[in-house]
A and B are shown apart, each in its own frame.
Chain A
Amino acid sequence: MATDTTTVAPPGLPSKADRVGRRPALRRDGRFAGIFLAPSLGGLALFTLFPTAMALAISLFDWPVFGERKFLGIDNYTQLLNDPVFRRVVLNTALFVVLYVPLNLVVSLGLAVWVGPKIKGRQAFRVLFFIPVMTPMVANVMVWRLLFQPGGLLDSGLESWFGINAPNFLGSSAWAMPAVVAMSIWQGFGYNFLVFSAALDQVPQSQLESAQIDGAGPLQRFRYVTWPMITPSIFFATTMTLITSFQVFVQPFILTQGGPGVATQTIVMYVYNQGWQFLTMGLASAAGWVLFVIIMAVTAIQFVGQRKWVQYDV
């Protein structure tokens, strides 16, 4: 849906006129396609569409895990919007996205460019940078907690070297979110790093060389040759990173449990707590739908915007 393939029709594909003339055959193809698609469509309906619709239904009820259910209409939504805690939770999620997505992209793209074709041992670097993505997040978070907490590695290191105490990273409202973002970037940049590395490898050496002969410096070569060619990958990475960062859960859940106060609580954590800890499924489902709508909107804006800067047919 993102690639507009009709502009560059590969040779051999029938022209529009041909297609009109061969309708019955196409219809048969469509039927076969339908049969082949059925298993995955069935799965999609059962495991994605149905739960989504079900959540919408539940969000209109006062739905305790046990006890009487009561139809509320949109009361859960009004309660959420009037709740200072939920508003803060939405802001926290936005803050995480605003801090995490650009930093992640800059770090992963920067390192991918640095570990470019000319560096020695680039395979080793690629493996090294990918290790945090592969190790279980829970284990990573445990180690970062030991770094961050009072009397932890950072704190005691600063104290023994400089005689000062580090901020209480996980206990201070000002520091907790940056701490969560820092840990998340370390943990997550490896994936985009691989995506960008693969994209950079696809940039033809001949074009870079001809640009060099024409007198383009390294910055110009990056800006006018490399950048346009990797925009599809950047678009892909941005979209995926945005979606996953709106859904951030594990890092704050284990590192700070959303605290102090609600300083690091995110929407998904809120959903989890309301649903599985406090057993109020209606409110949890409503919050889930709020998140769904936000992600849909942001993704839609991205797809509209990409026409202006993503170049598929270079």
Chain B
Amino acid sequence: MRGTPARARRWATAALSVLALTAVAACGGGNDGSGGGSGSADKADLTWSFWVAGTEDQAAWQKVADQAHTDHPGITVKLQGTTWDNYWAKVGTLLASGKAPCIMGMQSLRLASYANALLPLDDLMTKYGLKTEDFDKPIMDGLKADGKQIAIPYDSGPMVIFYNRDLFKAAGVAEPKPGWTMDEFTAAAKKLTSAGKTGFVTSPGDLGVTSWVRTQTGAEPLADGKLALTDPKFEEGFTTYANFVKTDKIAPQVPSGNPDFETQQFTSGKAAMQLNGPWSLIDVKGKVKFDLGIAPIPAGPDGSKTYTAGSGFGISRSCKTPDAAFQAIMSMTSEKPLTTLAVAGRAYPARTVAHPAWFTAVKVEGAKETIDYASENSVPLVTSKNWVQVADLLNRFGTQALNGEIPPDQALKTIQDQAGAGS
């Protein structure tokens, strides 16, 4: 470039700056893009963005989408599947671009972060007569933001204990029943811990930590919508949870960054109990070589309390045919597809009428009794706008707290300092 005349160089700089500015301006542009889908209330080609685990999964979910076409011949729904991680990596930019597909998958724990970009559904629910009471209440509430329904659930589930009945039998420990207490839990776990096996396995995951804290002290992670992890009650509950590893030694040390560690330990028979959601039950049952049982989370001083999480479908604000999209969602969450999903073991259905099909499919003794009990004692885990960051920090510093590297209250204080302001 040494020979370039100064004039040309100036031109090049000017051209580049213009290019840069135009692009900045273009990115700043409003939501005038052509949002996914076009047509009227009864006639539309819609796109549905959702997480799928593979081609088989994609085919199963496309069948759910096809239900919309069966019910409304003018409406077609095309599934745009991507992996769970990829989905959340791009959903923000998709929604921001104003070109998001009409129908979006949404998980209750992440709802708060994206609620602004999704259409409140209350008016459409009244218009098309969707009955709230047909769905599990905790998950219906879990998919609300500021009192408005943002998504319609397809699955739900309270956190419950999965346990290895063979190990319980071998150790001569009585099997847990609804209403069992914290003391009974620790006593059982201590008896089950021996010879390279542990009675329990923990993780610093958000649902696990908050469920244990809630059953032990009743503390919630948010107070008035703001993160409140340094609340003494929350610290107390979390300390007891961390002590499962540190002082009680009924659970193994946890590795960093392996969200499947609990399930790996449990399914391989190294841990006798884990906390998990009903959505994993059929998958876990397929993996284990022992007799699987489930029980509610043990009761603290005020009884057994747990959290519910689940997922559903919402409509992006940029969608031009919200009526058609809503009718499609109603079909996709109707009895038939949810029953099909339940039978295939893909999800514990959010619609109560589809529950029997799921219980028949899981074939786990006492499953209905346990899940009904846990459901009654559960509330949705309501999260903050920056929950993804909170969950990430909880994983990081929670690992250190569980392993006894830092005191539990210090871990919570660090998380609160980092994420409290943005909540």
Contact = CB atoms under 8 A, between A and B. Distances in A.
B257 A254 contact: yes
Instruction: Give the most central of B16, B254, B396: most A CB within 10 Å.
Output: B396
A257 B258 CA distance: 8
Contacts of A27: 3
Contact of A168 (B20, B24, B403): B403
A50 B405 contact: no
A302 interface: no
Instruction: Give the most central of B255, B265, B397, B406: most A CB within 10 Å.
Output: B255
Given A170-B256, A277-B388, A149 B261 contact: yes
A45 B16 contact: yes
A176 B256 contact: yes
A53 B252 CA distance: 48
A27 B261 CA distance: 66
B396 A259 contact: yes
Given A170-B257, A257-B395, A260-B396, A65 B96 contact: yes
A65 B92 contact: yes
Given A57-B20, A66-B116, A172-B403, A151 B252 contact: yes
Interface string A30-63: 1000000000000001000110011001000000
B253 interface: yes
Contact of B397 (A67, A169, A261, A279): A261
A233 interface: no
Given A260-B405, A277-B388, A171 B255 contact: yes
A258 to B, nearest CB: 7
Contacts of A66: 92, 95-96, 116-117
A269 to B, nearest CB: 11
Nearest to A49: B16
Given A150-B254, A171-B253, A278-B388, A65 B93 contact: yes
Nearest to B19: A50
A165 to B, nearest CB: 9
A96 interface: no
B108 interface: no
Instruction: Give the most central of A169, A257, A264: most B CB within 10 Å.
Output: A257
Contacts of A170: 255-258
B399 A261 contact: yes
Contacts of B53: none
A150 B253 contact: yes
Contact of A260 (B3, B16, B392, B403): B403
Interface string A245-278: 0000000001111111111110000000100111
B270 interface: yes
A159 interface: yes
Contacts of A172: 403, 405
B20 A53 contact: yes
A273 B405 contact: no
Given A66-B95, A145-B255, A173 B400 contact: yes
Contacts of B255: 145, 148-150, 168-171, 256
Nearest to A170: B255
Majority secondary structure, B binding face: helix
Contacts of B406: 261
B416 to A, nearest CB: 13
Q: How large is the interface on A (under 10, 10 to 19, 20 to 34, 35 or more residues)?
A: 35 or more
Given A53-B16, A57-B24, A159 B196 contact: yes
Contacts of B88: 277
Contacts of B253: 150, 168, 171
B280 interface: no
B20 A54 contact: yes
Nearest to B93: A65
Interface string B220-257: 00000000000000000000000000000000111111
B95 A171 contact: no
Contacts of A194: none
B113 A279 contact: yes
B23 A260 contact: no
Contact of A54 (B24, B93, B396): B24
A295 interface: no
Interface string B58-79: 0000000000000000000000
A259 B16 contact: no
Contacts of A67: 116
Contact of B400 (A57, A261, A265, A276): A261
A259 B252 contact: no
Interface string A150-184: 11000010010000000011111100100000000
A173 B256 CA distance: 9
A87 interface: no
A38 to B, nearest CB: 12
Nearest to A167: B253
B92 A256 contact: no
B170 interface: no
A173 B20 contact: no
Contact of A256 (B16, B256, B265): B256
A256 B257 contact: yes
A216 interface: no
A208 interface: no
A73 to B, nearest CB: 16
Nearest to A259: B256
A171 B93 CA distance: 33
B174 interface: no
B286 interface: no
A27 B3 CA distance: 9
A70 interface: no
A179 to B, nearest CB: 10
The 6 A-B pairs of least Cβ separation, nearest first, read A257-B257, A259-B256, A170-B255, A260-B399, A65-B92, A66-B96
Given A261-B396, A264-B256, 9 more contacts: A49-B16, A53-B16, A54-B24, A65-B95, A66-B95, A150-B252, A171-B256, A259-B257, A277-B389
13 contacts: A45-B16, A50-B16, A54-B23, A66-B95, A150-B254, A168-B255, A171-B399, A172-B405, A259-B256, A261-B397, A261-B400, A277-B88, A278-B422
Interface of B: 3, 16, 19-20, 23-24, 28, 88-89, 92-93, 95-96, 113, 116-117, 196, 252-258, 261, 265, 268, 270, 386, 388-389, 392, 395-397, 399-400, 403, 405-406, 414, 418, 422
Interface of A: 27, 30, 45, 49-50, 53-54, 57, 65-67, 69, 85, 145, 148-151, 156, 159, 168-173, 176, 254-265, 273, 276-279
